Amino acid sequence: MALLQLTLAIIKPHIIKNPTSLKGIQNVILKSSFKVVRSKRKPISLEEAQYFYEEHKHKFFYNRLVTFMTSGASDLYILAKENAIKDWRSLMGPTKVYRSQFEAPDTIRGKYGLSDTRNATHGSDSPETARREIGVFFPEFDYDKWFREEEAKFRCSQLKFSSDEFVHSVDSH
């Protein structure tokens, strides 16, 4: 059995304000066999958003994106699965919502995206990016320690799921 891969998933502020949409996306995550390793809801600070999106700093949409991402709470998840990055990106669909709605209407962005900025979700695009992005929002999470001490348990053990906290944990019974 292959090692699990980690990815960061962000559920954006306009989804958090719509509990039905949030539940729909959470159901997609669970039905797609992702394990939710860590989960938190928090407003993203201006500093976090500027750092997180620094690669887009000189693009026309940067200010709009940072302003939107700091407009309310987001859900932040560390997801685990074999091929987590590719699978999460596939579930999200194309970044451009217009394209998603016509070419991939059953994807998360096809169903819940409103615009290219308000496209419902974010997902890491590579293992290196996932490690960096997880570190931005989960500074307390030790990436290497998780692979040393928890990965095999998440892959092979019986897990319990807390729907209130939207997170899996190893069932010690």
pTM listed for this prediction: 0.96
Residue from 12, 76, 8, 13 nearest 39 by CA: 76
Confirm whether residue 89 is marked as ligand binding: yes
- Is the pLDDT confidence value at 2 over 90? no
Confirm whether residue 63 is marked as ligand binding: no
Confirm whether residue 141 is marked as ligand binding: no
Please give the pLDDT value at position 93.
96
DSSP-assigned letter for residue 105: T
Burial of 108 (0-12, 13-18, 19+ CB in 10 A): buried
In contact, 107 and 100? CB cutoff 8 Å: yes
Which pLDDT tens digit goes with each residue over 17-66? 999 999 999 999 999 999 999 999 999 999 999 999 999 999 999 999 99
Which pLDDT tens digit goes with each residue over 96-134? 999 999 999 999 999 999 998 999 999 999 999 999 999
pLDDT band at 171 (very low <50, low <70, confident <90, very high): confident
Which pLDDT tens digit goes with each residue over 73-96? 999 999 999 999 999 999 999 999
Going from the N-terminus, what domains does the chain have, and what CATH number goes with each? 5-170 (3.30.70.141)
Average pLDDT over residues 13-18: 98
Confirm whether residue 109 is marked as ligand binding: yes
Active-site annotation holder among 14, 56, 58, 122: 122
pLDDT band at 1 (very low <50, low <70, confident <90, very high): low
Please give the pLDDT value at position 173.
65
- Is the pLDDT confidence value at 137 over 90? yes
Please give the pLDDT value at position 157.
78
Is-catalytic flag, 122?
A: yes
Confirm whether residue 83 is marked as ligand binding: no
